[in-house]
Amino acid sequence: MSASPFVKVCGLSTAQDVAAAVAHGADALGFVLTPSPREVSPALAAELLSAVPAAVATVAVFRSEDADTAIRLSRQAGVGWIQLHGRRTPEDIAAVKAAGFHAIRAVRMDAGASEFEDWGEDFLLIDAAVPGSGESWDYAAVRELAAGRRWLVAGGLHSGNVAGALEQSQASGADVSSGVESSRGVKDPQLIAAFLDAAKTIAG
Ligand X SMILES: O=C(O)c1ccccc1N[C@@H]1O[C@H](COP(=O)(O)O)[C@@H](O)[C@H]1O
Q: One symbol per residue from 125 to 144: x for binding ligand X (CB under 6 A), - otherwise; what is it? A: x-xx--xxxx----------
Distance CA 29, CA 176 (A): 10
Give which of 72, 52, 63, 160 is closest to 106, Cα–Cα: 63
Q: 42 or 156: whose CB is closer to ligand X?
A: 156
Q: One symbol per residue from 140 to 179: x for binding ligand X (CB under 6 A), - otherwise; what is it? A: --------------xxxx-----------------xxxxx
Q: One symbol per residue from 22 to 41: x for binding ligand X (CB under 6 A), - otherwise; what is it? A: --------x-x-x-x-x---
SS3 assignment for the chain:
CCCCCEEEECCCCCHHHHHHHHHCCCCEEEEECCCCCCECCHHHHHHHHCCCCCCCEEEEEECCCCHHHHHHHHHHHCCCEEEECCCCCHHHHHHHHHCCCEEEEEEECCCCHHHHCCCCCCEEEEECCCCCCCCCCCCCCCHHHHCCCCEEEECCCCCCCHHHHHHHHCCCEEEECHHHEEECCEECHHHHHHHHHHHCCCCC
Residue 11 lies near ligand X (rule: CB under 6 A): yes
Residue 121 lies near ligand X (rule: CB under 6 A): no
**Nearest-approach distance from CB 9 to ligand X, in angstroms:** 9
**Nearest-approach distance from CB 69 to ligand X, in angstroms:** 14
Q: 156 or 202: whose CB is closer to ligand X?
A: 156
**Nearest-approach distance from CB 120 to ligand X, in angstroms:** 19
**Nearest-approach distance from CB 8 to ligand X, in angstroms:** 7
Which listed residue (33, 57, 61, 153) binds ligand X by CB under 6 A? Answer: 61
**Nearest-approach distance from CB 169 to ligand X, in angstroms:** 14
Task: Let me know: does 92 contact 39? Beta carbons within 8 Å.
Answer: no
Residues that bind ligand X (CB under 6 A): 10-11, 30, 32, 34, 36, 38, 61, 63, 85, 125, 127-128, 131-134, 154-157, 175-179
